[in-house]
Structure 1
Amino acid sequence: MSNLAMGSTDLHATASWCCQPLGKEELSAADSEKIAMIFKALSDPVRLRLFSKIAAQPAGEACVCDIQDVGVSQPTVSHHLRKLREAGLLESERRASWVYYRVAPGVLSAMAGLLSQSN
């Protein structure tokens, strides 16, 4: 049973808005809001570190028990992970008493495409 992100961002919409690099054409107001939410979620050093730890896992996912050593309390880690889920960057799944996180499909390539140089 999967407990996917419960925020306002639709994961499929997040991965698909990123067809054109930022310098290619002017952003709509809606796209600006979606992209800003992602940058805002990643602008915190603890969130960026958590996202990096999850993305770097060889198995593609990480138990919260293995990534919570980022210098803040466990409730603060949970808060930051929730913000990353709400931005559509992570998916989560509860297994027994632990929650496992993985980078949402298409997110890394969507971000790379967004930041690539326009032709």
Structure 2
Amino acid sequence: MKFEMYKDKGGEFRFRLKASNGENILKSEGYVVRASCKNGIDSVKMNSDKDRRYVRLVAKNGEPYFNLKASNGRVIGTSETYSSKQACENGIRSVMTNAPAATIEDLT
């Protein structure tokens, strides 16, 4: 698992957490400054092992997904949607287990 830090088309910095199979698991909001994006990654690493930081949600199409929140309640990452509740829980477990030690690849 790794974090990829990149610039979007609008010039903002973002990160995504990718599984070993290349699938995106978690993505961030846009940040104006690279350092803020790096802080977001650090916050994911610090909060990802705490189940209480995950908010389980359902998209308009009925597919489950989750948000990961920091201790201040702010969303630091949003997952992709999943085909089932169990698949979503598997995604959460994967982030909990692997994100704290994930490497960072800077693509900016």
Greater fraction helix: 1
Q: Which has the larger radius of gyration?
A: 1
Tell me the TM-score normalised to structure 1 length.
0.29
Point out which structure has higher relative CO (alpha carbons under 8 A, 6+ apart). Answer: 1
